[in-house]
């Protein structure tokens, strides 16, 4: 069974890291949008300024995580790409795991 091949394990792990970091970034982006809407709603409802200020702090924390996620995505992308570029085993290169990893790289090209 190809997935038991020890040569595929690092590819599977690095793919998982890239996938997880990408999902995490999307989660923080969605959280920031939701938080902005919450703050706007609180302002319209005339909520206490202290509560609104605290919600701005929460928004700031989410916004700070997005560049951190970008940095981790870029590192994971390059690690996976280098791992695949160094692979010479034809059987490994033809595997489902490598095909999925290549698709993942294509979908997550980091901004330069």
What CATH number is attached to the domain comprising 44? 1.20.58.90
User: Over 90: is that where the pLDDT of 33 sits?
Assistant: yes
Global pTM reads: 0.83
User: Is residue 51 one of the residues assigned to a domain?
Assistant: yes
User: Over 50: is that where the pLDDT of 14 sits?
Assistant: yes
- pLDDT tens digits, residue range 39-55? 999 999 999 999 999 99
User: Over 50: is that where the pLDDT of 1 sits?
Assistant: no
Buried b (16+ CB within 10 A) or exposed e, 71-108: ebbbebbeebbebbeebeeeebeebebbeebeebbeeb
User: Is residue 79 one of the residues assigned to a domain?
Assistant: yes
User: Is residue 86 one of the residues assigned to a domain?
Assistant: yes
DSSP alpha helices (H): ranges in 1-112? 9-44, 49-86, 90-93, 96-107
User: Is residue 112 one of the residues assigned to a domain?
Assistant: no
Q: Provide the domain limits for residue 42.
A: 6-107
What is the average per-residue pLDDT within 53-72?
96
- Please state the separation of Cα 61 from the chain's center in Å: 17
Q: What is the pLDDT of residue 5?
A: 78
User: Over 50: is that where the pLDDT of 2 sits?
Assistant: no
Number of structural domains, the chain?
1
What is the rounded CA–CA span in Å between residue 21 and residue 27?
10
User: Is residue 1 one of the residues assigned to a domain?
Assistant: no
């Amino acid at each position: 069974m190809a997935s038991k091949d020890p040569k595929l394990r690092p590819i599977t792990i690095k793919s998982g890291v890239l996938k997880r970091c990408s999902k995490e970034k999307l989660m923080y982006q969605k959280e920031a949008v939701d938080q902005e809407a919450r703050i706007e709603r609180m302002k319209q409802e005339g909520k206490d300024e202290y509560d609104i200020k605290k919600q701005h702090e929460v928004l700031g924390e989410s916004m700070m995580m997005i560049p951190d996620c970008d940095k981790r995505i870029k590192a994971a992308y390059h690690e996976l790409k280098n791992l695949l570029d160094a692979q010479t085993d034809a059987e490994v290169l033809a595997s489902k795991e490598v095909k999925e990893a290549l698709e993942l790289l294509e979908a997550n090209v980091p901004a330069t």
